[in-house]
Structure 1
């Protein structure tokens, strides 16, 4: 997987799965644009790690739920590196609320950060890739919950279901331009978004027991898949989601 000379934007790139993706793409030779909104100190530390790998990197503070800030993110990426070859729509949040108790504010926030940002991130990436020529890769970090209900987290599931159809439809629309659009659907991953479960021994034990492989994923395992999808090895994959869930979607109580 050689990404030498490629430029990758990773939204929500300074923590969790995004951080692991940044580091793995850098290990494969890509120049990196780290989008972040909070914790600039974490971004600065991550930039140093990328530079230590011998790669060029910039951090850009942008609220990806706002199209104007996404446009600024792309403008700064192109100014720094002249082109964008890989777009990773990774930024995401959840509220862990049900259809009965989700507020309008919670709904708007989840859909804006998870789905709106991916839609316009895909649009802007495709426009830039078409302008520069040569195709490109757009990778949407979705979830098993784009297809698998999670009661008590309804807005999140809705946003990921929307990302599923974004990936499929945009993949078909952009195929003539050589732009591949693929989703990555992680199962349970050891990241800050799952900190409540990861810090509770009983909850974690129950979660592990529900996964055929017997454990949650490491962020690096998701990042490895993203790097593959960005590489020439995935040249015939588009308009689909690759699930990395340890088999949890196929688990059964054994009736």
Structure 2
């Protein structure tokens, strides 16, 4: 198993991509911390992972924008399993609105979850990785929108671009301690977050939801297919298990050819 003996903290892991990554990590032998704003959902996810894979999983209630909650959650997981080896900073939201109609509150809310959350969880887990001397891997959930832009997504595109810069700094500062950092950049994944966007974009663009899928979301893929949570989780396992700094400070696009570097 590729992650045997590793301890992973995954934020936003009670559902969607985060949960799929947690399942794949557990299948590969990792002990997983399911961190989520919804503690009840995190507990359900942790129990399902223990039942399905017989591994170790613990639910952690965490608002990633709350410094106290992040510090406490990281400390709890590190104490429970003797350190943390992998962070997957996955928690995020989406807001669909034209830039000229976007409120400052909406802008700050999205950036706080994506960027403040990434910073706080990174700082806490890096400190633990340095303390244990084991090094580790930090993975950020970016997006094709870390490289591209779309209408109606100003704060999201800004945040996802920002994660590239954070990963590069972590790769530089973490190298001396054996800490690597990379960014996963999926295309459109059919999760509740994307399903929520369909009527919003259809309304804003004046087209049907099916036309949003066909002419907006998947028009530049090579096969007209959504990226799947399984696609993303497989790449996350690969990067979490990669043993050297040959892969650090990089972004890996998982998009059925939508974005090609």
TM-score (norm 2): 0.90
Aligned equivalents of 1:66 and 1:44: distance in 2? 20
4+ long deviations beyond 4 Å: none
Unaligned runs of 5+ in 2: 200-208
Q: 1:226 aligns with which of 225, 230, 236?
A: 236
Q: Which range is displaced more, 82-91 or 188-197?
A: 188-197
Do structure 1's residue 201 and structure 2's residue 203 form an aligned pair?
no
| Cα-to-partner distance string for 1:23-77 (whole Å, 9 max, x where unaligned) | 000110000100011261x323321221120211110111001111110110110
Matched residue, 1:153: 153
Unaligned runs of 5+ in 1: none
Aligned residue for 2:99, secondary structure, equals: coil
Q: 1:240 aligns with which of 218, 233, 250?
A: 250
Q: Which range is displaced more, 126-135 or 188-197?
A: 188-197
Q: Which range is displaced more, 208-217 or 63-72?
A: 208-217
The answer as to whether partners of 1:8 and 1:87 remain within 8 angstroms in 2 is yes
RMSD between aligned residues = 1.8
Matched residue, 2:204: none
Q: May I ask how many residue pairs the two structures share in their alignment?
A: 250
Aligned equivalents of 1:234 and 1:134: distance in 2? 13
Give 1:1-255 correspondences, 5 Å limit: 2-38=2-38, 40=40, 42-52=41-51, 53-196=53-196, 200-206=209-215, 207-232=217-242, 236-250=246-260
The answer as to whether partners of 1:97 and 1:155 remain within 8 angstroms in 2 is no
Aligned residue for 2:218, secondary structure, equals: helix
1:108 and 1:209, CA in 2 relative to 1: closer, same or farther beyond 3 A? closer
TM-score (norm 1): 0.93
